Amino acid sequence: HAVNIAGSAVWTAGDVQMLNGAFWNILPQSVVSMSGDLSVTYGGGPSPTINVAGSFAKNSGTGTSSIGVQFNNLSGATVTVSNATLSLNGGGSSGGSFVIPAGGTLAVAAPVPTFFDGMVTGAGSVLFASGDSTFGAGSTYDITGGTSLNSSGTTTFNGTEQHMGGVNMIAGTTVLSATNTASATTVTHTGGTLTVNGTASFGSYTLAGATLNGGGALSVGALSWGSGTMSGTGTTTANVG
């Protein structure tokens, strides 16, 4: 069964359970606003899907709202996380925009791959908590609040330019592709592997017990290397003095 939202709706109470291949479609020029820490749960059967062709927003709350089914942010659509955390737990794709102002966090925590071909922007933060995430060649990642990489999977940035804010790498593999130019204010790398195949510039880089590799060029303003491994055919230039 499919439920289509046409117009404006405010979701104020109660979680929604989806099951047996159901669809929730937010139509073009329509708006769904989530008021509070509400969630969508998976109830079994073929995978249900939420398709956003208009706008979807988490506007209030202090905790986490989880989307436990496939979530597709379609081209031309906008998903806004203004308060607390919106966690994508069911995978999906995005050709639209995720806007994360200061105070908001987008979490990617799906056991299945999540694909981004649109824009992820704002002064808030993004947490890659589990699963594989891939940013396509035409994607934009511009997050000034902070990026946390705590997934045991692989997060791949294929866009031409990425601004990652302050970065905390704890686990998994992060790949900056050969076509990628990435920047970050600070990077604390205490676990997992960072592969730089393009060009990257970090204001500061702390490597402690993790691995840096790849064939690209990394420039850092301040380097702290207490433990860990640097390998591959690339270069790391520490601008000291």
Q: What pLDDT, in 10s, does the model give residues 117-142?
A: 999 999 999 999 999 999 999 999 99
Chain-centre distance for alpha carbon 166: 14
Residue 23 pLDDT class (50, 70, 90 cuts): very high
Instruction: Name every residue whose Cβ is closer than 8 Å to that of residue 241 and which is 6 or more positions away in sequence.
Output: none
Cα 233 to Cα 213: distance, rounded to the nearest angstrom? 8
pLDDT value at 74 more than 90: yes
pLDDT of residue 241: 53
Indicate if the pLDDT at residue 227 is higher than 80.
yes
pLDDT of residue 160: 86
Say if residues 168 and 149 touch (Cβ distance below 8 Å).
yes
Q: Which helix (H) or strand (E) holds 181?
A: strand 181-189
- pLDDT score of 228: 97
For residue 170, with 0-12 CB atoms within 10 Å meaning exposed, 13-18 middle and 19 or more buried, which class applies?
middle
pTM value is: 0.95
Asked if 60 contacts 35 with a C-beta cutoff of 8 angstroms, the reply is: yes
Using 50, 70 and 90 to split pLDDT, how confident is the model at 239?
Answer: confident
* C-beta neighbour count of 188 within 10 angstroms: 17
Buried b (16+ CB within 10 A) or exposed e, 7-46: eeeebeeeebebeeebebbbeeebebbbebbbbbbbeeee
- Rounded Cα distance, 38 and 15, in Å: 5
According to DSSP, the residues that pair with 56 across neighbouring strands are: 32, 79
